[in-house]
Amino acid sequence: MNKSSTHNKLLGDSNIPSNSLPVDSDMNDTSENSSPNSHEEIEYRRSKRARIERTFGPDFLIYLVEGNRNDVLDTIKCVMHVEDDPVTYTNAMQSRDAYFWKEAIEDEMDSILTNQTWVLTDLPPSVKPIGFKWIFKKKLNADGSINKFNARLVAKGFKQRHGIDYFDTYAHVARIASIRVLISLASIHNLVIHQMNVKTAFFNGDLEEEIYMEQPEGFAIPGQEKKVCKLIKSLYSLKQAPKQWHEKFDKILLSHGFIVNNADKCIYYKHDNLGCTVICLYVDDMLIFGTNLACVEETKKFLSSNFDMKYLGVADVILGIKILRKNNELFFTQSHYVEKILKRYGHFCHKPAPTPIDPSIKLVKNIGRTISQLEYASIIGSLMYAMHCTRPDIAYAVGMLCIAQDLI
């Protein structure tokens, strides 16, 4: 085959115009000496295969990027590379999300300084200050996109000494049984249920002990770098922080006419001319139940006047439990939680078993994949949470698995 026919073969096998193909000098010489028929228009061979539009699924997005080739490649690298949460302040300031982390840090410091959490002072003799640490975490939406950049300044509470830096430490939380009872009463009496969250709740607790902390990195006062922060109010990770926060919340609610439930110290109720209101507190999350919307709104206004509150709307999720309303009835569901633990431990695709379990079934020693005691205990603990919250029907099966730990 000569060069001219080779050239024509190339043109016939592609959709690229002939003037866009590189042609060497020998080819040009050959084409000049060829017959006139060689200059006739060549009919390209077209593929008869039906073209199908390619799809990458409903979650695939296409973005147009303006710029040269290097700009486009840099953008692709940013899109394909998702950074982990920074471990230190320096990591955050050097990451490509430094602008957002800096904004989150400034918001945290504004909350601390507005709340008058500490005062600068000289370190007393023979006193060693505790350190601090910045905790960074991206809050994600259900689809995996970033909702918010969170930065939290915490004290190194593990350096505190019992009897010197703290005496008592505990955290009151509502019992899950109490929450179930309140939801049942709400369904029976058609109560209004709203949900609120206390921003930086632990900052509200007043400290009784003298605690000194180093100045936060990046926020040391010029000319006063050797001074330390004398804590007036609690910080996250202090041993006594949950206790001090609950005492402050308890004191304010009692002063407003609320009464503490005798069976659960995190349940408060109040009767007045507007109606009946019940508050269920779980650390910094709370459910507000009311016989009508007016008493719930009044309670929300009262709480917002004493704490920095965030309104979360009509209650739909509490402690990972979804609350569903249907035909004046309320339902609890944890299907998303159950699916999560099944996927985590590699049992999502397994065949379902009858529930409740047949009491006549006898467990036998494991002869399959070996499993560590720690992983087994973690699985049992995850199942027990679902059992206590929404799945009492698996109580017998979970109990059997607890007894049979020697069989793994």
Is the confidence at residue 363, as pLDDT, over 50?
A: yes
* Window from 127-141, 182-196, 360-374 with minimum mean pLDDT: 360-374
- Burial class (CB within 10 angstroms; exposed 0-12, middle 13-18, buried 19+) of 312: middle
What does the pLDDT read at residue 96? 87
Structural domain includes residue 73: no
Query: What pLDDT digit, counting tens, does each position of 4-17 carry?
Result: 444 444 444 444 44
Average model confidence (pLDDT) across the chain = 80
- 86 phi and psi, to 5 degrees? -60, 150
Residue 3 pLDDT exceeds 70: no
| 140 and 249 co-located in one domain | no
In a domain, residue 26? The reply is yes
Q: Provide the number of structural domains found in the chain.
A: 4
Residue 297: inside a domain, yes or no? yes
- Predicted local distance difference test score (pLDDT) of residue 57: 54
Grade residue 278 by pLDDT with cuts at 50, 70 and 90. very high
Confidence category of residue 25, pLDDT binned at 50, 70, 90: very low
Whether the predicted pLDDT of 23 surpasses 60? no
Lowest mean pLDDT among 57-66, 241-250, 303-312, 355-364: 57-66
225 and 323 fall within a common domain: no
Q: In terms of Cα–Cα distance, which of 389, 224, 218, 269 is closest to 320? A: 389
Segment among 92-101, 316-325, 379-388 with least mean pLDDT: 316-325
Q: Are residues 101 and 183 in the same domain?
A: no
Q: What integer pLDDT is reported at residue 58 of this predicted model?
A: 54
Query: pLDDT at residue 137 above 80?
Result: yes
Cα–Cα distance between 401 and 17 in angstroms, integer?
72
Res 299 pLDDT > 50: yes
> Does any domain span residue 357?
yes
Q: Is residue 324 pLDDT above 90, yes or no? A: no
Confidence class of residue 245 from pLDDT cuts 50, 70 and 90?
A: very high
Q: What local confidence, expressed as pLDDT, does residue 10 receive?
A: 42
More confident residue, 287 or 359: 287
pLDDT tier for residue 339 given thresholds of 50, 70 and 90: confident
Query: What CA–CA distances, in Å, run from 333 to 157, 388, 390?
Result: 36, 12, 7
Q: Evaluate whether residue 71 is within a structural domain.
A: no
Which residue in 81, 92, 74, 321 sits closest to 193, CA to CA? 321
Residues 159 and 281 in one domain: no
Are 265 and 304 in a shared domain? yes
Give the pLDDT band (50/70/90) at residue 196.
very high
Same domain, 204 and 260: yes
Same domain membership, residue 373 and residue 310? no
Give the span between the Cα atoms of 337 and 344, in whole angstroms: 11
364/381 same-domain check: yes
- Answer yes or no: is 294 within a domain: yes
Q: What pLDDT is stored for residue 312 in this prediction?
A: 87
Residue 47, in any domain of the structure: no
pLDDT surpassing 70 at residue 136: yes
Rounded to an integer, the average pLDDT of 359-386 is: 83
Domain housing 223: 89-171+217-231
Same domain, 154 and 295: no
Return the pLDDT at 20: 45
pLDDT for 43 equals 67
Specify the long-range contacts of residues 9-12, CB closer than 8 Å, at least 24 apart: 11/42, 11/44, 12/42, 12/44, 12/45
What are the tens digits of pLDDT across the range 263-274? 999 999 999 999
Q: What is the mean pLDDT of residues 156-173?
A: 84
Average pLDDT, integer, range 221-233: 89
The reported pLDDT for the residue numbered 255 is 93
* Alpha helices per DSSP H over 96-175: 98-114
53 lies in a domain?
Answer: no
CA-closest candidate to residue 42, choices 85, 10, 68: 10
Do 403 and 322 fall into the same domain? no
Inter-residue contact 277 to 290 (CB < 8 Å): yes
Q: Please check whether residue 282 is in contact with residue 321, taking contact to mean a CB–CB distance below 8 angstroms.
A: no
Tell me, yes or no, whether 187 and 289 share the same domain: yes
Distances, alpha carbon 31 to alpha carbons 10, 13, 16, 23, in Å: 15, 19, 19, 11
Residues 182 and 159 in one domain: no
Peptide bond into 356 cis (omega under 30): yes
